[in-house]
Amino acid sequence: MKKKLVFTMTGILAGAAILGGCGGGTEKNADSGSKTDASQEESSTEESQETDAEDGKSGETVEITYTSRGNADEIKVYQQAVDAFNEAQDEVHVTFEASPSDGYNQQLITQLAGGTAADVIFVEDTIISQLVNNGTIADLTDFLNSDESYVKPEDFDDSVWGASRKDDRIYGLSVDCNPVLLYYSPSMLEELGCDDPQELFEQGQWTWENFDKICNTLVENGKSGMVQSGDNIRLYNWVFANGGTVWNGDTYKFDDKAREAFRYICEGLQDGRFVYGGTLPDGQGEDAMFMSQQTGFIAAGRWLTKTFHDEGIDFDYIPYPSSDGTQYTPAQVACGYLCVNTNSDNLDAAMKFVSFYCGEQGQAARIEGVGTSVPSVKTLDSLMTDSGVPEHVDHILQVRATGWTSGDAEVQDVMYNGFADDTKAIFEEAYIGGEDPDAVIDKAEEEAAKIIADAQ
């Protein structure tokens, strides 16, 4: 990558000021009986301008690129923050380049290895550990603690770091976050005579048993109770809602409560209360099923909120039910990170943009109103509550406060290449094939042990 310097009128005026200052100096020296050589003066001025250009001063603008994937609504929101940064200062100009979502991770890994990646890159939580370990993304720690940074590490909620932090060093900042909870339609449940999930929650009765009653009513009326996605994190939300664990230090081990949660999911899929998201027909995603009222509950972050709101879909948030009615059991806080390409020619400029984009100003530019995400800095929660969408929007902030992020000690799947895909394929033997849940867990633990051992 080449460093592009665009000299603005400010730079020209600065040069003129330097020349004017030198002229004043000549007159003073003449009075004292000394002369300043004009050629030396001109040479000195040129050297000063060149030095200033190298240091990013005198009004020149450093050009950097930022790339991310996202849907159409998200891309528009990303551009808002880029525009806000470009307008806030004139030292750095960022050009945003949207990238297709399909194959994004592999393309990014290839570009970083080949030296063709953008200066600033969006990195998913599923691959950031790999990039930290191979040295292709830069350590941001020292810059974030400097006066040049727009944001400090302590400004972020503790739940959003995950695999972006290693050995107390920071390699990525969460652009925002998406705590995962359940969406449901209050009007549909009311029409079917179901209990109100909000009332059950407030009474400490938002339990698996009462959730099952609602799901059974939905099934009796030709709908599915819930779409259960196949990724491991949706499994772990049920595990933690039952007080279980799946990681014991560096060992992948389901305790008794985790096994009970896995059996609960499998039973729901076998008796029809749940529908497995991995077997939905093409074009029939869980969001489409929800919008057409074919299912009662789906699990997602705020990324569906703007679409549902704009389309006039009736919905509200409710946390995952727990086995005993405990409120706000730990659920995933989905995070993506902004990182800096280690090979960028403009590391400081790139880090400055990252600190703005992920700081209070950048997040406010993207989240204000009915947006697609939740702030990860702690000072912007009012943006969510002021929106009033949906009615119980505060649930998502409470889930953030008690949640976990991929790469935390509780969920280390992303720390090992291929771990999530390989174990998911095994779990599907129970989800789809109806195999014995406990035997499937044993098999998943054995496969996990091999993956972990190979990574040592």
Domains of the chain: 61-178+334-387 (3.40.190.10), 181-331+416-455 (3.40.190.10)
Identify whether the C-beta of residue 171 lies closer than 8 Å to the C-beta of residue 354: no
> What pLDDT was estimated at residue 59?
62
> Which element (helix H / strand E) includes 238?
helix 232-241
Q: Which amino acid does the sequence have at 308?
A: F
Chain centroid to Cα 380, Å, comes to: 16
Angle between helices 347-357 and 72-88 (to 10 degrees): 120
Beta bridge partners of 226: 274, 297
SS3 56: coil
Give burial (CB, 10 Å; 0-12/13-18/19+) of 359: buried
pLDDT at 70: 84
Residue among 314, 355, 442 at smallest CA distance from 141: 355
| 123: nearest Cα among 132, 134, 135 | 132
Query: What pLDDT, on a 0 to 100 scale, did the predictor assign at position 244?
Result: 98
Cα-Cα-Cα-Cα dihedral sign, residues 191, 192, 194, 198: negative
Write down the H helix ranges in 160-207.
Answer: 186-191, 197-202
Q: What angle do CA 321, 163, 393 make, to 5 degrees?
A: 35
Q: What are phi and psi of 336, to 5 degrees?
A: -125, 155
DSSP state letter for 137: B
Distance CA(353)–CA(350), nearest Å, equals 5
- Token couple for 49: 């301008």
**Whether 287 contacts 307, CB under 8 Å:** yes
Query: Which run of H or of E encompasses 6?
Result: strand 5-6
* 395 vs 318: CA distance, rounded Å: 7
pLDDT for position 305: 95
Rounded to whole angstroms, the Cα distance separating 238 from 127 reads 24
Angle at 195 between CA 193 and CA 197, to 5 degrees: 135
The pLDDT value given to residue 111: 97
Residue 400 CB partners (closer than 8 Å, separation 6+): 157, 159, 160, 177, 179, 333, 374
pLDDT in single tens digits along all 456 residues of the chain: 433 333 333 333 333 333 333 333 333 333 333 334 444 444 444 444 444 444 444 468 999 999 999 888 789 889 999 999 999 999 999 999 999 999 999 999 999 999 999 999 999 999 999 999 999 999 999 999 999 999 999 999 889 999 999 999 999 999 999 999 999 999 999 999 999 999 999 999 999 999 999 999 999 999 999 999 989 999 999 999 999 999 999 999 999 999 999 999 999 999 999 999 999 987 789 999 999 999 999 999 999 999 999 999 999 999 999 999 999 999 999 999 999 999 999 999 999 999 999 999 999 998 888 988 999 998 999 999 999 999 999 999 999 999 999 999 999 999 999 999 999 999 999 999 999 999 999 999 999 999 999 998
Helical segments of 94-138, H only: 104-114, 128-134
> What is the SS3 assignment for 421?
helix
Q: Determine the Cα–Cα distance for residues 114 and 180; give it in Å rounded to an integer.
A: 35
The answer to whether 63 and 93 are in contact (CB under 8 A) is yes
pLDDT at residue 16 in the model: 34
Of 7, 1, 10, 39, which is closest to residue 22 (Cα–Cα)? 39
Judge contact between 357 and 85, C-beta under 8 A.
yes
pLDDT at residue 1, rounded to an integer: 43
Amino acid letter, 78: Y
* Distance separating alpha carbons of residues 97 and 363, to the nearest angstrom: 19
